[in-house]
Amino acid sequence: MPAPTLAPPPDQALILRGLGVDAARFVVEVVAECASTNDSIRTTDIAPDTALHVLIAHRQTAGRGRRGRSWESVQGQSLTFSCAWRLPNDASAPVALPLTVGLALAEAIESLGVSQLTLKWPNDVLLDGRKVAGILVEVTGSQTQRKAIIGIGLNLLRTHEYPLPDGATALSDHLPTAPEPETVLATILLRLDARLADHRKGGFTALREAWQQRDAFAGRQVSIRGDDIEHLGVCEGVADDGALLLRTGQTTTRILSGDVSLRAAT
């Protein structure tokens, strides 16, 4: 797919400026192209005094989404980046980490002047009910030093040349002027750093209420498709460990992975 000619890659110096006094907590790299930022950052060592090591790609040639799907994006039209974060040593299966990341993303985007941000379990950010950002969290590293690779794809612009997929939206649909990528990135990184620090201190428990206030599907009939099973029920929020709580009749089931969609009323 040919790229629009206008957009230059995000400017690393402007991102660092946007991070202000906290810039020293981050390492920020910008590359013109890579296959997938999640794959490229996988072997990066996080320096001891770095909170988040960030890799931003202007263009991804093999971007990956959840559950083995591909993530298509057009350079300049979206942000594609990954952050390497040291996992707390006691974090077993970090099911809740994508929820913390989604919350941080929603809060950051809201602070740019956009409202109607909600969260779709486990890791989509919705704007006015449409997907504006997706998150792919993967865990890697040795048993003693594990790290989370937090991949984020965010739709910045809608253009005539490259329309967004059905059910998707872009920040530019909701703002009077197109957002500067560097401002958006710095805003997200600062909020992500703050929410990850909360997560490191107290796990997802302390963030659960804030997540549930943005839950797009709370109290709604949904269908959840896992690898080889479909659950039907009503969303009852999330547990402290990030599991989705689904009520079917008198039973509440804990769901740890799957795709949620609204179930048509019968």
Which range touches ligand BTN (CB under 6 A), out of 80-88, 110-118, 219-227, 257-265?
Answer: 80-88
Cβ contacts of 206 within 8 Å, gap of 6 or more = 198
- Cα(30)–Cα(28) distance, integer angstroms: 7
- Cα(16)–Cα(174) distance, integer angstroms: 26
214 is catalytic: no
Strands (E) across 156-240 are located at 221-225, 230-238
Q: Is 77 in the site for ligand BTN (CB under 6 A)?
A: no
Q: Is 242 in the site for ligand BTN (CB under 6 A)?
A: no
Query: How many beta carbons lie within 10 A of that of residue 124, not counting itself?
Result: 21
Which range touches ligand BTN (CB under 6 A), out of 11-19, 63-71, 168-176, 215-223?
Answer: 63-71
Angle at 4 between CA 185 and CA 192, to 5 degrees: 10
254 is catalytic: no
42 is catalytic: no
Residue 96 CB, nearest distance to ligand BTN (Å)? 17
The footprint of ligand BTN on residues 129-158 (CB under 6 A) is: 134-136, 151-153
Toward ligand BTN, which CB reaches closer, 24 or 262?
262
Q: Is 82 in the site for ligand BTN (CB under 6 A)?
A: yes
Tell me if 150 sits within 8 A of 85, measured CB to CB: yes
Q: Is 174 in the site for ligand BTN (CB under 6 A)?
A: no
Residue 90 CB, nearest distance to ligand BTN (Å)? 26
Among 25, 42, 200, 263, the active-site one is 263
Q: Is 118 in the site for ligand BTN (CB under 6 A)?
A: no
β-strand pairing of 52-60 with 78-86:
antiparallel
- Cα(108)–Cα(62) distance, integer angstroms: 27
Among 59, 66, 146, 200, the active-site one is 66
Residue 97 CB, nearest distance to ligand BTN (Å)? 14
Toward ligand BTN, which CB reaches closer, 25 or 59?
59
Cβ contacts of 162 within 8 Å, gap of 6 or more = 1, 4, 74, 77
Which range touches ligand BTN (CB under 6 A), out of 45-53, 98-106, 128-136, 235-243?
Answer: 128-136
Side-chain half-sphere CA neighbours of 40 within 13 A: 24
For the chain, first and last CA: distance in Å? 41
Q: Determine the residue with CB nearest ligand BTN.
A: 134
Question: Footprint of ligand BTN on this chain (CB under 6 A)?
Answer: 36-38, 60, 63-66, 69, 71, 80-82, 124, 134-136, 151-153
Residues with catalytic annotation? 66, 131, 263
